[in-house]
Chain A
Amino acid sequence: MTLEVTGVSRWYGNVVAVNDVTMTLNPGVTGLLGPNGAGKTTLLHMMAGFLPPSRGTLAIDGQSTWRNPEVYRKLGLVSERESVHAYLSAEEFVLVSAKLHGLPDPAAATARALDLVEMTEFKDRRIGTYSKGMRQRTRVAAALVHDPEVLLLDEPFNGMDPRQRMHMMDLLNRLGQAGRTILFSSHILEEVEQLSGTVQVMVSGRLAASGDYRTIRRLMTNRPHVFAVQSTDDRRLAVALMHQPSVNGVDLTREGLTVRAGDYGSFTRALPRIALKEGIRVRRLLPSDESLESVFSYLVEA
């Protein structure tokens, strides 16, 4: 089952949210990465049939998703907005989904879905009393109850702790291996470490990069960095650093040094060695361009 996005744009008045995106999603897990405001949610809403594209087409197995409720037989959606009927228990909530899907045995489907997300133990409690991770898993169970071929998740890791995140990623990977087409969005690259699949990177509404996650991961760890350094002798440290091949430039300022390193890994390994050799004590080392935008725009250039 493939999800086909062809030349899709979406604008609101003068603002272009999604700009001419074309992608094909195949079975397996795909991460849709990009900083906030990149258009990920807009794209997901269009994929899920909750927003008409201004231009282009979106189709699951050749069927358009807009104004076509039949498509939800094959599609599951976990939206970003954490809207649940808080007065229901997890079991009731998932059961409602199963019944609305018109499944032949809603109770069995509900039990299976709750089991898949490991919520069986807590199924009788009101959703309002759940932790964020439990609510998220309940929502995933509701989206999975009809065993859809395609599952879309908008920021599923938002607000989860690392353990819950690992759990969820594990679940998504399992579903992907079972032949489902899974797409999730995220604006935090570190969230998707255990991802075994491909990524699509969106920046400012455009599809900026796509490919194997490991390649992108490597590019990330080896990306150029700017560090702010303070030491007991900035001037001497600057001279020593300039000998390093991993250092592209050093600025001497009143607050210390601004070091532009070509490579994150080798610079951070080299600095302590140099300081030790020169007898300089490093008081402060701060990476100064950790903004997501800079990381993503680097990925786009690479």
Chain B
Amino acid sequence: MSGMLLEIENLHTHFLTRAGVVQAVNGVSFTLARGEILGLVGESGSGKTVTGFSILGLIDPPGRIVEGSVRLDGLELTSLDQEGLRQVRGKRISMVFQDPMMTLNPVLSIGEQMLLAVRAHERITRRAGLERAAAVLTRVGIPEAATRLSAYPHQFSGGMRQRVAIAIALLHRPEVIIADEPTTALDVSIQAQILHEVRELARESGTALIWISHDLATVSSLADRLIVMYAGRVVEQGPVAEVLSDPRHPYTDGLLASLPANARPGEVLRQIPGNTPSLLDLPEGCAFAPRCARASTICATAPQLTHSGPRSWRCHHPLGAGA
């Protein structure tokens, strides 16, 4: 597996709260190849966002990576100090967040914020830095970028703001961009547009992409490979087409069945019964068992990951060919 750009192995990220230990990420492993687009799917609370933040060491107290490793081209990120991590952030791995209203600083101009990001990794004159910023803004589709540098975030629409955030992520041509639900807060028409543009930008520059989303439909139109997370664990992963057409894990199956596109007209959408479990006291065995139609007594013990070619799943009673 040494050819992999990013290797995440047995990652555990826990939050030590007053109420107890929240096991947000509980033994997650996956890899990312150069230029690959990976979709990370799960409901809120499945640990997908925390996984993204853990890669960059952006977990705030009381959260902590308690176990596991994150290697970027062989470089162990979990053992880097603050300065070492800082040099990776924005330079080799960038992030785009969910809500562009919250991420850009409302009282600094766009140019100023981009200049700060440029200067985080390069000694460069103000003038040259602003030119760089304008060039990248043009690349993400912002017209008259040079004159827009002096504008403030509130003078941009939501979609434009997210483009600015993407431009900041692209500034240093990183090897990986982690996008955490970057289109969820936007209008539907803008969503598709940005989705398309980000894919093109990633392909163009050979950047690998981890696209985190709760929306299976969006991700499947974009990604090469899918990872489905549930209660802090990876429950299924594999190439998009195979996972969609032939899911192994009952949870993936449930997610697919609840998509409007898969419903017959006039039929009520199928929902997965029950709620996501509390991460405070996870059941011993399979976390999905209480909501699963196929659950049996064996599900009280934790299922191991089963591998089959490019695919793997974590279930005692998988669906389809793997059964």
A binds B: no
- Which B residues are within 8 Å of any A CB, using their own CB? none
